[in-house]
A and B are shown apart, each in its own frame.
Chain A
Amino acid sequence: MKRYSKIWPSIVVLTVVVGPWWLAVVLTHTVIFPTPGKVVLGTLELARDGTLWEHIGASLFRVGAGFLLAVLFAIPLGLWMGWVHGAYVTLNPLFQILRPISPIAWIPIAILWFGVGNASPIYLIFIASVFPMIVQTTTGVHTIEKRYLRAAENFGVSRRKLFLRVVFPAALPQIIVGMRIGLGVAWLVVVAAEMIALRSGLGYLIMDSRNAGNRYELVVAGMIIIGLIGLLLDGVMRLLEGMKNVRWRYVH
């Protein structure tokens, strides 16, 4: 019963959104904007002929590749910057300048460097997700409580053990927060990146549906699918926050 009481308000909100939308389309006799029903039919059509899964697969592949590269780059770098003061002082200003530049602004350069294949959106996703992860990882190391470092010092452990058993696990909750943020922006950016020139992906689906005959029901369908997958990806990242060795940071 409790589960239902949690879901109910969301259902009410959805009805409040969908109901007037449907009504407005019907009352205004618009021919171009779709009703929710047409959106559902459009989605089913895409699912049936298989193109939906191709687009989703292409988008997920690009996000996965860009995000993974960003993780591999950001976490070691963030740990290093957090631990070595000189590295932080040297590199932090550079990243603080690069960070506020929207990944969209990188599109021309991405095309110049990587052409219009998969490499361009992967690069854009990398750029989008790498900075939040660097920042969070660095913060994770900077905020390690001194008492833990002193305990490690007291037991006289090797540098390797200090790193593997104290520094990394102590920073891990923050690293996971960074990964959650990073994946969120990565998903935001993939759509923008795919609007450029590629032949697949959810972003392409949206632009193509508009260009090829004003199929606005497919445009809206693409938007909703993007939203749902974003929610799903965030849910996966939240599973990481439930791991027993990081929960100490989140439960209080």
Chain B
Amino acid sequence: MFIKTKIVVEDVSKGFANDDGLLAVVDDLNFKVGDGEFVAIVGPSGCGKTTLMNIIAGFLAPDTGAVKVDGLPRSAPNRNGVLITQQGSIFPWLTVRQNLLFGLPEELPNREGLAQEYAELVGLQGFENNYPHELSGGMLKRAEIARALVVKPEILYMDEPFSALDALMSLRMQNELLRILAKERHTVMLITHDVEEAIHLADRILVLSPRPARIQASFDVPFAHPRRVSSPEAQALRVAILKQLGVELV
């Protein structure tokens, strides 16, 4: 289905020093992500998901192994792959518009128009001149997504992006994300502990083991969008994934 490989994670290991010596957090991880593919990684909390994401996005160097994007090793973050985290990082001292303009080079023609276009894409028209503390949690997420997309990255790294939102807003943002991705195809890596969210969004789901993180199982999600997570097939997949995570549903 995916012709080109976008991201290769090759023999990646990472440990942190603690009182008892070295604590292995990520252990010899290997997987590939296709161009335009949406891969979700689920795992128990504290299993090293965030560490893994920081390595893949280039914020953290692995102890061994390498992450390659388009065949080239990645050692530092760049605007080709933008990270969106749970806490968010919209600058509170800039307005929505200034936040969107932040990542765009000064010499780029029509920066303002581009910022406007993406503010509208995520449904923030009318709030361009508002400061973040005047926005709701959902609107902040929209702003964050718009700021990521406006620089035209090829990859989105999302680390529990909607976990801080309430359940309803999280679902709404998932739908928003799908709507936006239908317009602009990006390669997406999503880290989540929410299995239903992964089934709702992803083309493929990798299940990580407890620390040190290894890939324990991989599931394709063959359902066409729009998906109904309540369908029997999706629920069967959910049960299978949860079983891998050590949760038996009766």
Contact = CB atoms under 8 A, between A and B. Distances in A.
Nearest to A251: B133
Nearest to B104: A155
B151 A165 contact: no
* A: interface residue count bin: 20 to 34
Contacts of B77: 150, 153-154, 156
A155 B102 CA distance: 8
A165 B94 contact: yes
A6 B82 CA distance: 49
Contacts of B76: 153
Nearest to A146: B89
A147 B85 contact: yes
B79 interface: yes
Given A148-B91, A150-B83, A151-B89, A157 B131 contact: no
B133 A155 contact: no
Contacts of B102: 152, 155, 157, 165
Interface stretch (A85-93, A98-106, A214-222, A240-248): A240-248
B131 A247 contact: yes
Contacts of A150: 59, 77, 83, 89
Nearest to B129: A244
A166 interface: yes
A155 B133 CA distance: 22
A155 B57 CA distance: 12
Nearest to B93: A169
A169 B94 contact: yes
Contacts of B48: none
Given A154-B77, A154-B82, A165-B94, A248 B103 contact: no
B94 A245 contact: yes
Interface string B59-96: 10000000000000000111100110101110111100
Interface string A37-73: 0000000000000000000000000000000000000
Q: Is the interface of B mostly helix, strand, loop or mixed?
A: loop
A220 B56 CA distance: 69
A154 B83 contact: yes
B132 interface: yes
A165 B82 CA distance: 18
* B: interface residue count bin: 20 to 34
A86 B132 CA distance: 34
Interface in A219-252: 244-249, 251
Given A155-B103, A157-B102, A245 B79 contact: no
A141 interface: no
Contacts of A169: 91, 93-94
A36 to B, nearest CB: 45
A40 B130 CA distance: 48
A172 B94 CA distance: 12
Contacts of B87: 147
B89 A248 contact: no
Interface string B16-31: 0000000000000000
Contacts of B94: 165, 169, 245
Contacts of A155: 79, 82, 102-103, 151
A148 B89 contact: yes
B93 A157 contact: no
A117 B182 CA distance: 74
Given A153-B76, A248-B133, A249-B92, 9 more contacts: A147-B89, A148-B89, A150-B89, A151-B83, A154-B79, A156-B78, A165-B94, A248-B92, A248-B132
Interface of B: 57, 59, 76-79, 82-83, 85, 87-89, 91-94, 102-103, 131-133, 151
19 contacts: A147-B85, A147-B89, A150-B59, A150-B83, A150-B89, A153-B59, A154-B78, A154-B103, A155-B102, A157-B103, A165-B91, A165-B94, A165-B102, A169-B93, A170-B93, A172-B93, A248-B92, A248-B93, A249-B92
